[in-house]
Amino acid sequence: MNDSETSGKVLAILAELAPEVDVHALKPDVRLRDQLDLDSMDFLNFLIGIDEQLGVDIPEADYPKLGTLDSICDYLKAKLTGSPAGPPS
Amino acid sequence: MADFRMPVLGADMKTGELVAWLKKPGDTVQKGEVIAEVDTEKAVVEIESMFSGVVERLLVATGDKVPVGTVLAVIRSESTEEGAPSVGPAVAPPPERLARAARPATPASAAGRLRISPVAQKLADEKGVDLSGILGSGPGGRIMVHDVEEALARAPGAPAPPTAPIDRALRMRQAIAGAMSRSHREIPHFYVESVIDMSRAIAWLTEENARRTVARRLIYGVLIVKAAALALKKVPELNAVWSGDHVDLKPDIHVGVAIALPGGGLVAPAIHNTDALSLDELMTQLRDLVRRARAGRLRSSEVADPTITVTSLGEEGAESVFGLIYPPQVALVGFGRLTERPAVVEGRLEVRKAIHASLAGDHRALDGYRGSVYLAEVEHLLQEPESL
C-alpha cells in the first residue's frame, strides 16, 4: 500500500466518524482534535477503523504520536513497512 | 385489548408526529419490539411496544401530529396484565384520519420487496433517489428517512437541502430550551463538588488496555458511569423522579448519558440497569448508544427511562461542569476534564490525575449532605477500579 492509499483510507475512516466535515479540507499538520469535534469514543472508533482497514493495532502507549494527519500517516507508514515509528508529535 | 399510546419522550414533549408504522393490523408484536417511529422535537425515536400481542387496529396515520397520550393503535394483548402504562388521558384521534390509518402503512417483508418507511419512500420519490444502492439502517435493513437524506447528501452535484437540517437544529434547540427553562424555573438546585483522584483508575485502565486489542479497549468514561451507577446503591434517593409533590424512588438504575450531537444539541438516553453491567458490557452498550444517538436511531425506552443523568466533558472540556437537572429526575452528576494536579500524598507533593465531580440535586427531594455522601462513594469506588 502506498502513501496515497494509506492517506485515503485514513480520510475515509474520519469521514465516516464525522460525516458533517469535509475531511479533504483538514490541515495535515494541525491537531485533529482542534479541527474535528472528536471525543474519546470517536478516537477509539477511529483506531478500530484503522485496525480493520489497515490491520494496524495501535497500542495505547502510542496515542500521543497520533496528533495530526501527517503524524498518523507517518506512524502507519512506519508500521506497514516495518520501519521504526515516526517521532512523537 | 391494550392501548398503544403516544409516549412522553421528553420533559416538555406535548405532541409527537407519527413518522412510520413498522407493523400493520394482524402482525404479531413482542414486548420491546419497535413498532413505530415518532418525531419528537429532538429526534426521530423508535417506539417500542410495552406488551406482546397482535396489532388489532392502527388509529393514527403517518404524518399526523398528536398529543402525548393519544391512542395510536389497539393491540390484542397476550396478557391482560400487560396493559399500556398510563401516560395521561387517552385522546381520540381525529375521525377523518381513521380511514387513512387503517391502510396497511408498511409493506410486509416479502422476499424481494424493498423495506422502506413510507416517509422515506415519499422523500425518495420527490427527490428521485435511486434506492437500490441504499443500505437501510432501520430494523431488518429497512430504509429510513435519514438513509435517504444521507444518500441525497452524497449524490454528486446534489443541491444541499438547507431547510431540513436547519429546522432540525432549531427544533432541537427549542426542545432543550423548553426542558432546561422548566428545570431552572421549577427545580431548586443545589450543588456539591469533589476533586477525585483518578491516578489509580487511570493506571488500572492503562494496564488493562495494554492487554486488550483495540476493539476491546475501554475508555475512562465507562469507569465513571459505572461508579456513578453503583454509588446510587448507597444513596438511592438520588435515583428517583419528582412527581408533583413527592419523590418516587426508582428500583432500577438507568443512567442517562449525555451525548453531544454533530451540529449541536445533545441527548441523554438511558443505559438500562447500568449497575448490573460489566465494564465490557457497558462499553459495548455505550458505543452502540453513541452511534445510534448520532444517527437519530434511539428507542423510546432509552429516551423515557433515565433515572439520573451523567454528563462528562471528556478530555478537552472545562475542568468543572454544573448542570441543570433534566426533569422529572432529581439529580445530575457532572465530570470535568481529566487534569494533572499537585496533591499531597502521605506527606509528599505528587502530581496526580484528577477530575472535578459535581452533583446537581433537586432540593425538594434531597439535601446537600446526601449529595456529598454520594460523591464520596463515587470517589471511593474509583479508588478500586478493578472492582467496578
Domain that includes residue A25, residue range: 3-81
Q: For helices A69-81 and A3-17, what crossing angle results, to 10°?
A: 130
Look at strands B44-48 and B298-299 and give their pairing: parallel
Strands B331-335 and B266-267 come out as: unpaired
Q: A48 to chain B, minimum CA–CA distance in Å?
A: 6
CA–CA min distance A47, chain B (Å): 7
Which residues in chain A have Cβ-Cβ distances shorter than 8 Å to B209?
60
Task: Output the domain CATH number for residue A63.
Answer: 1.10.1200.10
pLDDT digits 0-9 by tens, A30-42: 998 888 878 889 9
- CB proximity A76 to B under 8 Å: no
Options 3.30.559.10, 1.10.3720.10, 3.40.1390.10, 3.40.228.10; CATH of B188-387 = 3.30.559.10
In a domain, A67, yes or no: yes
Given this model, what pLDDT does residue B206 score? 95
Domain layout of chain B by residue ranges = 2-154, 188-387
Does A22 touch chain B if contact means CB atoms closer than 8 Å?
no
pLDDT digits (tens, 9 = 90+) for B166-195: 577 788 888 888 889 999 999 999 999 999
**Residues B129, B134, B138, CA angle at the centre, nearest 5°?**
115
The CA distance from B340 to the nearest CA of chain A, in Å, is: 16
Whether the per-residue pLDDT at B94 is higher than 90: the answer is: no
For residue B161, the chain A residues in CB contact (below 8 A) are none
C-alpha cell at B215: 476493539
Contact flag A40-B315 (C-beta cutoff 8 Å): yes
Identify the pLDDT of residue B154.
Answer: 62
Amino acid at position B278, single letter:
S
Helices B279-294 and A40-54 cross at an angle (nearest 10°) of: 90
Residues in chain B: 388
The C-alpha atoms of residue B33 and residue A56 are separated, in whole angstroms, by 38
- Whether A18 maps to a domain, the answer reads yes
Nearest C-alpha in A relative to B222 = A41
Cβ-nearest to A51 among B215, B221, B263: B215
pTM of the model: 0.76
The mean of the pLDDT values for chain A is: 86
CA distance B326 to chain A (A): 23
Q: Which residues of B touch A (CB under 8 A)?
A: 150, 206, 209-210, 213-215, 217, 219-221, 260, 262-263, 286-287, 290, 314-316
Is the separation of the CB atoms in B111 and B90 below 8 Å? no
Which range has the worst mean pLDDT, B70-84, B175-189, B213-227, B253-267? Answer: B70-84
| CATH class of the domain defined by B2-154 | mainly beta
Residue B332 scores a pLDDT above 90: yes
| Assigned domain for A74 exists | yes
Show residues of chain A in contact with B221, CB under 8 Å: 40-41
How many other CB atoms sit within 10 Å of the CB of residue B349? 9
Number of domains in chain A: 1
- Nearest residue in chain B measured CA to CA from A39: B314
Q: Report the C-alpha gap between B202 and B334 in whole angstroms.
A: 18
Q: Fold match between B2-154 and B188-387?
A: no
With respect to residue A22, please indicate whether it lies within any of the assigned structural domains.
yes
Residue A88 lies in a domain: no
Minimum CA–CA partner of A50 in chain B: B214
Q: Give the span between the Cα atoms of B182 and B184, in whole angstroms.
A: 5
